[in-house]
Amino acid sequence: MRLRNSGREAEKIEPQMAPMIDVVFQLLIFFMLTLNIVEPEGDFNVNMPITDSSAPSDDMPKFPDIKVRLVANEDGSLNTIRLGQVNLGNGPNVFAGLNHEILKIIGKPGNPITKDMEVELEADYNLHYEYTLKAISACTGRLDSSGKHIIRYIEKIKFAPPVGGSKVGS
């Protein structure tokens, strides 16, 4: 068999890229849609207590619940702060006084028992938010003497429903 050579140069045949890219994208979409993500079964990281949990432990002192109540005036300004049953007033240093009273309750900053303690903050409905933020700051800690580091007292703060809210449509 004889090949004809008509004097033309052999044309270089290049594969077409567009159909190959289409096939690659179709395969990618197929694998993405059929991927089945399985969560590991039975991998529960639960730390159970070693001792009987029904028996009270006497070695750890029990701290009382800390309840802070912010009472507002009619215009939304702060009327008074109550820590439990103690009235702290509303002067310019009332938040420093709240911080000092919290420190007296917990004993010393960084106490490991305070990790489980919570402060319940209850504020009147019409109280300006700045007073709530100052109360949160006073309960959680203070700055050290250099003013660069925070000394933590209590990490957990929960909010009680607002008191004295107006009804909608009244």
pTM of the model: 0.56
CATH code for the structural domain at 66-159: 3.30.420
Report pLDDT digits (tens) over 60-110: 555 567 888 888 888 988 888 988 888 888 888 888 888 888 888 777 776
pLDDT at 19 over 80: yes
Average pLDDT rounded to a whole number, residues 117-142: 84
Where do the domains of the chain lie? Answer: 66-159
Cβ-based burial of 128 (10 A; exposed 0-12, middle 13-18, buried ≥19): middle
**Residue-averaged pLDDT of the chain:** 77
